[in-house]
Structure 1
Amino acid sequence: MTVGADMRIGYRYLVEDTDRHGNVRIYFRYPGYRKIRLRERPTSPEFAERYSSLIEQFATGCYKEAEKTSVSAVPGTLGWLVTAFRASKDFSNLDPSTQRTRARVLESMLNEPIFQEAAETFRNFPLDRIKLSDLEVLRDRKKALPGAATDRVKALRPMFKWATSKKHCVANPAISLTKPRLISNGHHTWLPDEIEAFQRRHPLGTKAHLALSIMLYTGARRSDAVQLGRQHEQGDSLRWTAHKNRNRYPTIIHIPMLQPLAAAIQAGPTGDMVYLLTEYGKPFTIAGFGNWFHDRCIEAGLPQCSAHGLRKAGSTRAAEAGATAHQLMAMFGWRSLAEAEIYTRAAERKKMAALGMAFLEKGVQAGESVPPIPDIKSSGTNNKKKPAKSDAAGAAGAPYGSRTRLFRLKI
């Protein structure tokens, strides 16, 4: 029996799915959770009681989503290891969004055959048989999508590191598993003209201008930009804990509030606990903010630009102005010196190229040029017939075609 229009009005969160046999099934789907099958007849008192119970559990926060169990999770197999790792403290310390991504990636690999058209999947693959080459197979199945291949490496490495520390594996087969090489510059870095174009379309006093100022003049990631607010102000500075890696490696960022940012906050519109609010007066989600900001970029005629590109623009500006790698690490919350050096090296190359071109320009202005090669008729390099071997050059043993002018020594 299907859910009618009148029932959809009275019952929220109900959805219908049709299985491969044409049977319509009714589910309760609360945002952020898996669907829950409702087996009761929709017009029956049992259905209404089950529905009311679910609504109450979600409203009070008492609902606990049951973990998926797999009958295939045989101890000592890869499927068993994934289940154990997801229940570990190391996994729970990850950001919730990272947990969801890693769980999805690991689960997708478990369902793949160990080789083409094989009946056995990696779920039941014995741990004591897993080698580096097996993990490379899983990685390389996504070679057409380097980002997806990298996600697989990022999911496998920490799991096998944990498994080795817990003695589930004798050796770590993923220790030498490398990420595929990504030939990409990543997000587009905003150019000065693009920033000016955005500000013309979204002038001071607009929410879009405020969002640009927050990211450009703090170097904040999207995840930080949506949480910054009045509580992070300390006099003439801002101080907050970076959202990324906040559970494992918390990084405190403490920077002065620059005048353009202070002016944008003063002009508003802002909230109290967070500067940036949606049209409904609520804080943005990270993904929601990224989509909203990109729409503002399109309005300014900048479809190639994004929120993350502003962070790169700020890094580039600071590096070209002379900021050191360690200063960039403090400003942008990086833990790796290598990441900061990407920008300092690029800035240094730009400066060196400018200095080198100045020398070239100086030489051209001075009228310097490469002296021409003299026309040596006896060199043998023209199109005339080569001299016979009995001539002076041949007698002297000099190679034909040489530019060296030969002289006969008179005694």
Structure 2
Amino acid sequence: MPADLLHPTAREHSVQPLDGRTEAPRTGRSTLLVIASMLTLAASVAAGVRLGTADIGWADLTRTVGARLGLGAAPLPPLVDSLIWDLRLPRVLMAALVGASLAVCGTVLQAVTRNALADPYLLGVSSGASTGAVVVVVLGVGTHALGVTGGALVGALLSFGLLLALLRRTGLDSVRIVLTGVVVGQLFTALTSLVLMASADADTTRAITHWLLGSMAPARWEAVVVCAIVTPLGLVAAWLCAGSLDALAFGADTAASLGVAVRRSRMLLLVVTAVLTSVAVATVGAIGFVGLIVPHGMRFLVGPLHRGLLPAAALAGAVFLVWTDTLARVAFAPRELPVGVITALLGVPLFLLVLRRRGEL
């Protein structure tokens, strides 16, 4: 297959020498980057807890965590302790987990669809998950059987299934995927608006509209625990399919010739993506462009091989959303911006840049 006909990710694979002389340095660089990202994430979480309209010192943070974990530290006054433990810490941890989930989703979707512009938000998956969650909250459909997360998962799967059905005859051309994803996203956005306007009162509509823009404010420990279970499982599932993702970058036919069960691998990876997206959306709303921004930056730093790219993207996505949410909290304090607004302001220029570099703008 001529190198100039390959997807950009596949072209990067195609120039790797067979003796492994290039892969070994890149593997070492990926390991160092992951370690550096873990340290950066820990520092970012601590800084994110401290920053806000009320100043929190390092000593206050250490005492609260120590007292809550039973390490013998003297507890702080109840108001400060609650501010740190019940509001700031779960919010920052949720931002890290959601950022990691969306970055992994973007990385997987870009390989599966062979489209550098793929992202849960752009492909309509986030909109579908939002519709499913809103239907459960407003109409009470399946409240006991599904819950908000289950409704979001059903909506995400329906939107992705509709996307694949619409692309079945035309193929996975990059422009068609993005355009069809936008159409699917608009459809589910319209359905969400219809449900809100028809059945919700003014207060509910206002609250859900703010939530749909993406906000970490509702994050509580119960939701953090769910994300803390789902996100690592999703990352591990995607990482175990790293070889399949590398092969899928060359296309379905080439992947099949390399022994990859294309249909099964695609379905598994798409379900993983839908689950991660639905859990994130059900908790904090639809946050766009994280899955677009982070994978491109990490692919530039560690290369296209997914065994190193996936953990690097997860950690970078966590750091990115922690700082983005911190900016959303402090930029116009005491008023708080939805974090989805910040990510869109950062993501739209990158989206246009990627389109221009690919000669599609």
Q: Does the alignment reach a TM-score above 0.5?
A: no
**Higher share of residues assigned strand:** 1
Q: Which has the higher contact order (CA 8 A, sep 6+)?
A: 2
Larger radius of gyration: 1
**Higher share of residues assigned helix:** 2
